[in-house]
């Protein structure tokens, strides 16, 4: 994530769309309305300073009736005065000084223009912060199906994704089946199978190509790491110094401990049959990228950037990042609502039983898809780790139903339809209630 905001910089509650908070600065819309009123007042004042059409006609008639002598005298007088004392130019607007033209700030620009033209004066940090606030306040404009021509480019910016040439993506596709191809084919046909919007826009073949290309990319990265380790080992084996031979040095406890740590790190990717290239659930995590993107290449680079920089722990080995996230759901719920937490614990319901899909897929497993996209706008703007708070927020929204049910398993077996705006509002109120050390765990749990 491009310069992810800190806990203190995230607003506690989203700005109201009807009346702004008393202690909050006016929204960009207020500035624009004020400038329109000022411009109308200035134009009206300027018009009032101009002479009427009748006055201009009388002046023209009077000038034509002047005698030639008076015209000559007036010309000589003007010539003499011009030679001795040049008059200062008079402003054309009734004696008022011209107002200097000021470039609009990033806050005053619309989200569309800010993305299209870039931030004024090259202020990237200011433009990024303005983009985040506009997403929180106004959201990304989209149609009823959640489609927006702007969304994928905002995601690429917020993820700090590099530029990718289409030929690079095509080269990965033309390599054929990756080592994870069979696992991918076992999952793609059931990806968001009950969502008509997704099935109408994204084909299974497109999802297979994307996941297979990502699997090749991850496979190549792992091969490169393995070659680097082998190269370092070869250089160590052929090097001796005053401490003795490499074999003798490698027998020391410190070196053996380091070797075991390296082996565990590399071996953590071997907990699945296609190590480090594909895990079950990546198909659902990739689905919103394909739905929002305008091309497979855009979806590929955004998805690859996301899983390798924002949540590598979710798709690595035994999904240790997902299990850390589930433990944090339980911990956060115990902090913000002890009664609800104790009730679920008494029923033997930990987050491992009901929240695993929501953590792994950033709530993409819960329809409707347009609400998933709106929630992801917020997560990409302020940090994907806030998904933990969004899951707790959904539990708090269901609080009364859960506490009044003798069997909350039926309620939490599948979460109710997402309501992105409500979930964001509740999640933002939770941030200030969480201790700093717990919030730090949330930030790094998926790394």
Sequence spans of domains, the chain: 1-16+104-138, 180-293, 319-444
Maximum Cα–Cα distance across the chain: 118
Sequential pLDDT tens for the chain (447 residues): 665 678 877 876 655 544 444 344 444 454 554 444 444 444 444 444 444 444 454 455 445 554 444 445 444 444 444 444 444 544 444 556 665 556 678 888 888 988 888 888 888 899 999 999 999 999 999 999 999 999 999 999 999 999 999 999 999 999 999 999 999 999 999 999 999 999 999 999 999 999 999 999 999 998 888 887 776 666 655 555 555 544 444 444 444 444 444 434 444 333 333 346 899 999 999 999 999 999 999 999 999 999 999 999 999 878 999 999 999 999 999 999 999 999 999 999 999 999 999 999 999 999 999 999 999 999 999 999 999 999 999 999 999 999 999 999 989 988 999 999 999 999 999 999 999 999 999 999 999
CA distance 296 to 168: 12
Look at residue 44 in the predicted model and tell me its pLDDT.
Answer: 43
Q: Which long-range contacts (CB under 8 A, 24 or more apart) does 187-191 make?
A: 187/280, 187/282, 187/283, 188/283, 191/283, 191/284, 191/287
**Pick from 1, 293, 281, 286: nearest CA to 146:** 293
d(CA 140, CA 377): 8
Strand positions, DSSP E, 77-123: none
Give CA–CA dist 399/396, Å, rounded: 5
Token pair recorded at residue 54: 């009748």
Dihedral pair phi/psi, residue 241, rounded to 5° = -140, -165
Closest CA relative to residue 352, chosen from 383, 397, 319:
319
User: What's the pLDDT score for residue 192?
Assistant: 95
Give the whole-angstrom CA distance, residue 179 versus residue 195: 29
Residue whose token pair is 């500035």: 31
Residue among 161, 384, 431, 406 nearest 285 (CA): 384
Per-residue pLDDT, 93: 47
pLDDT at 244: 52
At 256 the pLDDT is: 47
Q: Is the dihedral angle over the CA atoms 4, 9, 10, 16 positive or is it negative?
A: negative
Angle (CA) 257 260 262, round 5°: 110
Please state the pTM of the whole predicted model: 0.73
| Euclidean distance between the first and the last CA atom of the chain, given in angstroms as a whole number | 12
Q: 130: closest CA among 103, 101, 158?
A: 158
CA distance 407 to 116: 52
> What is the pLDDT, as a whole number, of residue 376?
98
Which residues have C-beta within 8 Å of that of residue 390, sequence separation ≥ 6?
363, 375, 379, 423, 424, 427
Q: Chain-centre distance of CA 254, in angstroms?
A: 43
What are the phi and psi torsion angles at 244 (to 5°)? 120, -170
Per-residue model confidence (pLDDT) at position 2? 61
Dihedral (C-alpha) 78, 80, 86, 92: value to the nearest 10 degrees?
0
Nearest-5° Cα angle at 328, 157 to 195? 55
Residue 128's alpha-carbon distances to 3, 114, 155, 219, in angstroms, are: 9, 9, 12, 33
Vertex 288: Cα angle to 269 and 178 (nearest 5)? 40
Tokens in use for 148? Answer: 């927006």
Identify the sign of the CA torsion 5, 8, 14, 15: negative
Q: What is the pLDDT of residue 238?
A: 55
pLDDT at residue number 7 = 81
Report, at the CATH architecture level, how domain 319-444 is classified.
Answer: Orthogonal Bundle (1.10)
At residue 174, the pLDDT reads 97
What pLDDT is attached to residue 14? 52
Per-residue HEC secondary structure of 148-199 comes to: CCCHHHHHHHHCCCCCCCHHHHHHHHCCCCCCCHHHHHHHHCCCCCCCHHHH
């Amino acid at each position: 994530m491009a310069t992810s905001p800190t806990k203190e910089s995230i607003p506690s509650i989203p700005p109201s769309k009807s009346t702004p908070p008393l202690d909050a600065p006016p929204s960009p819309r207020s500035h624009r309305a004020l400038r329109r009123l000022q411009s109308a007042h200035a134009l009206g004042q300027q018009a009032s300073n101009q002479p009427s059409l009748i006055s201009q006609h009388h002046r023209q008639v009077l000038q034509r009736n002047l005698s030639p002598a008076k015209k000559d005298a007036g010309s000589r007088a003007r010539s003499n005065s011009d030679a001795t004392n040049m008059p200062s130019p008079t402003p054309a607007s009734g004696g008022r000084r011209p107002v200097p033209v000021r470039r609009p700030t990033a806050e005053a620009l619309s989200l569309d223009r800010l993305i299209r033209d870039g931030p004024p004066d090259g202020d990237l940090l200011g433009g990024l912060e303005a983009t985040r606030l506009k997403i929180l306040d106004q959201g990304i404009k989209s149609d009823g199906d959640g489609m927006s021509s702007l969304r994928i480019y905002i995601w690429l910016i917020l993820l700090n994704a590099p530029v990718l040439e289409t030929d690079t993506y095509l080269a990965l596709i033309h390599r054929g089946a990756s080592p994870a191809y069979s696992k991918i084919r076992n999952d793609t046909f059931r990806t968001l199978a009950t969502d008509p919007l997704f099935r109408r826009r994204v084909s299974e073949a497109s999802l297979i190509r994307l996941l297979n290309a990502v699997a090749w990319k991850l496979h190549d990265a792992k091969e490169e790491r393995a070659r680097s380790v082998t190269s370092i080992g070869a250089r160590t084996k052929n090097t001796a110094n005053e401490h003795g031979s490499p074999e003798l040095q490698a027998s020391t406890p410190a070196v053996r401990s380091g070797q075991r740590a390296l082996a565990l790190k590399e071996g953590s990717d071997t907990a699945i049959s296609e190590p480090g290239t594909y895990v079950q659930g990546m198909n659902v995590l990739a689905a919103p990228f394909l739905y929002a993107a305008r091309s497979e290449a855009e979806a590929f680079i955004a998805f690859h950037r996301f899983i390798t920089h924002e949540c590598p722990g979710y798709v690595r080995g035994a999904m240790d990042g997902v299990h850390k996230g589930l433990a944090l759901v339980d911990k956060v719920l115990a902090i913000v609502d002890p009664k609800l937490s104790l009730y679920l614990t008494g029923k033997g319901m930990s987050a491992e039983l009901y929240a695993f899909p929501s953590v792994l897929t950033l709530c993409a497993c819960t329809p409707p898809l347009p609400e998933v996209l709106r929630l992801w706008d917020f997560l990409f703007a302020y940090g994907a780790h806030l998904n933990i708070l969004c899951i707790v927020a959904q539990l708090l929204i269901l609080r009364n139903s859960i506490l009044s049910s003798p069997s909350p398993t039926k309620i939490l077996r599948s979460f109710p339809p997402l309501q992105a705006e409500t979930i964001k509002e509740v999640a933002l109120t939770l941030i200030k209630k969480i201790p700093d050390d717990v919030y730090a765990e949330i930030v790094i749990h998926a790394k």
